[in-house]
Amino acid sequence: WKKSEDEPRFFPEEKPLKKAYDVVIIGGGGHGMACAYYLAKEHGITNVAVLEQGYIGGGNTGRNTTIVRSNYLTSEGVKFYDESLKLFEDLSDDFDLNIFYSTRGHFTLAHTDSAMRTMRWRAEVNKHHGIDSEVVDVDTIKKEVPYMDMSCNGQHPVMGALYHAPGSVARHDAVAWGYARGAQMRGVEIHQKTQVTDIKTKGGKVVGVETDKGFVEAKKVISMVAGSTPRITEMLDIKTPIEIFPLQACVTEPVKPFMDTIVVSGSLHVYVSQSSRGELVMGASVDPAELHSTRSTLDFVEGLTDQMMDLFPFTSRLKIMRQWAGMSDITPDFAPIMGKTDVEGFYLDAGWGTWGFKATPVSGKTMAHTVATDSTHELIKPFSLDRYAKFELVGEKGAASVGH
């Protein structure tokens, strides 16, 4: 495949929907585009339509704080995210598009004995799987992050941290665009501003989707949305334990590069990195109440900057330039829901809460495998929807990074 010389656009003009596809993917974010890409590239399945109610990467893909890491708490999580991280490292080459993948090192601060215990636990699980993570003491942190107030304004002194050298950031839009372009060049169709209004079945099997642009037949349908999962699953009477909470973030004005690591404090509910443009990219925990909305609040900025100033007092002089929110599909065990469902031909990639961006490559790859072969990829077997009924939860709360 090759981009045509006389095609100056990054994406070709969209054509009308066809009558039928082998696979319809609902959701044109990173996950949907990655799945389309791997379906085409690795399985030769190109009669695929990605249907997106808004625009490419305009949901949580373009709203997260771009952190990539694999320092999870469970073996299932560590193996899954490690594969994702490896895929991320090669994406710029794969796409022939710079995703600005930047390895920074990732500190998760501990301010209490119990947080230290969780960091030790994570470090041991990580090391067992060959992941570069270790518990570091205050002097080591001080050396690497000299501008941080280790006493936290005397409120909650830092006692140590989990240090994860491979922790990285990437340009999130480029990830979605790279996957989308790669899929399109191989024959996949992307239809923006196209909302799925119903999923049709016959004899317990998927036959197509109803959209605001008409009905399209489909042999297989995959839901890869964030914030709208319950709206989609209700169409098939599938019950999930997902609850939706807004997750807000913001950036400061750009300043001279000074921060080359990612710093997270689950106890203070802050995470921060400096973007290649010089802005501090910051976020906090999810909003306290369930809400299906991407509105921003002053409350969030006040709470976040209060905690930020305990850790980094000089930030009191910085201006906040932009703030925004995404909708997080939170699951009871803070792990995703992936794979086949009880409805033949309908697959789910959901429950991405506050941990979805870093899973973009691996979710696309494993879901493409599952759909193409109709056999669940080994890495996602622990994340099946029926684990809740079987009480086989994958408890990742201690590694979710964001306080809840």
Is residue 269 close enough to count as binding ligand PYC by CB under 6 A? no
DSSP letter for each residue of 232-299: HHHTTT-----EEEEEEEEEE----S---SEEEETTTTEEEEE-TTSPEEEEEEEPSS--------HH
Among residues 19, 13, 83, the alpha carbon closest in space to that of 362 is found at 83
Q: What share of the chain is helix, strand, coil (3-state, %, to 5)?
A: 30, 25, 40
How many helices and strands in the chain, by DSSP H and E? 9, 19
Is residue 69 close enough to count as binding ligand PYC by CB under 6 A? yes
Residues whose CB falls within 8 Å of the CB of residue 97, separated by 6 or more in sequence, listed in order: 174, 177, 178, 181
Stretch that binds ligand PYC, among 33-41, 63-71, 227-235, 332-340 (CB under 6 A): 63-71
Q: Identify which of residues 104 and 191 has a Cβ nearer to ligand PYC in the complex.
A: 104
Q: Identify which of residues 27 and 356 has a Cβ nearer to ligand PYC in the complex.
A: 356
In the list 355, 359, 384, 394, the residue contacting ligand PYC (rule: CB under 6 A) is 355
Q: Identify which of residues 189 and 287 has a Cβ nearer to ligand PYC in the complex.
A: 287
In the list 61, 184, 273, 354, the residue contacting ligand PYC (rule: CB under 6 A) is 354
Closest separation in Å from C-beta 68 to ligand PYC: 8
Closest separation in Å from C-beta 80 to ligand PYC: 13
Is residue 271 close enough to count as binding ligand PYC by CB under 6 A? yes
Closest separation in Å from C-beta 109 to ligand PYC: 13
Q: Identify which of residues 148 and 402 has a Cβ nearer to ligand PYC in the complex.
A: 402
- Reduced to 3 states (helix: H, G, I; strand: E, B; else coil), residue 141 is helix
Q: How far apart are CA 298 and CA 214, in angstroms?
A: 41
Is residue 31 close enough to count as binding ligand PYC by CB under 6 A? no
Closest separation in Å from C-beta 203 to ligand PYC: 41
Q: Identify which of residues 36 and 125 has a Cβ nearer to ligand PYC in the complex.
A: 125
How far from 298 is each of 210, 266, 322, CA to CA, in Å? Answer: 39, 21, 12
In the list 46, 53, 65, 307, the residue contacting ligand PYC (rule: CB under 6 A) is 65
How far from 106 is each of 124, 138, 170, 212, 229, CA to CA, in Å? Answer: 16, 15, 14, 44, 30
Q: Identify which of residues 148 and 199 has a Cβ nearer to ligand PYC in the complex.
A: 148
Q: Identify which of residues 104 and 220 has a Cβ nearer to ligand PYC in the complex.
A: 104
Stretch that binds ligand PYC, among 16-24, 61-69, 147-155, 341-349 (CB under 6 A): 61-69
Question: Tokens standing for 390?
Answer: 């079987």
Q: How far apart are CA 150 and CA 148, in angstroms?
A: 6
Is residue 402 close enough to count as binding ligand PYC by CB under 6 A? yes
Site track 147-186 with ligand PYC (rule: CB under 6 A), x = hit: ----------------------------------------
Stretch that binds ligand PYC, among 65-73, 214-222, 298-306, 329-337 (CB under 6 A): 65-73
DSSP 319: P
Q: What's at 252, amino acid-wise?
A: T
Q: How far apart are CA 261 and CA 283, in angstroms?
A: 15
Q: Identify which of residues 236 and 311 has a Cβ nearer to ligand PYC in the complex.
A: 311
Closest separation in Å from C-beta 388 to ligand PYC: 22
Whether 122 contacts 153, CB under 8 Å: no
DSSP 374: S
Whether 183 contacts 52, CB under 8 Å: no
186 burial type by CB count under 10 A (0-12 exposed, 13-18 middle, 19+ buried): middle
Q: Which of residues 280-339 bind ligand PYC (CB under 6 A)?
A: 283
How far from 255 is each of 119, 121, 145, 274, CA to CA, in Å? Answer: 31, 36, 17, 9
Stretch that binds ligand PYC, among 1-9, 64-72, 122-130, 289-297 (CB under 6 A): 64-72
Residues in contact with ligand PYC, total (CB under 6 A)?
9
Within 10 angstroms of residue 159's Cβ, the number of other Cβ atoms is 17
Q: Which of residues 117-146 bind ligand PYC (CB under 6 A)?
A: none
Q: Identify which of residues 218 and 250 has a Cβ nearer to ligand PYC in the complex.
A: 250
Query: Which pairing describes strands 214-223 and 270-274: parallel, antiparallel, or unpaired?
Result: unpaired
Closest separation in Å from C-beta 330 to ligand PYC: 12
Closest separation in Å from C-beta 215 to ligand PYC: 38
Give residues in contact with ligand PYC (CB under 6 A): 65, 67, 69, 271, 283, 354-355, 401-402
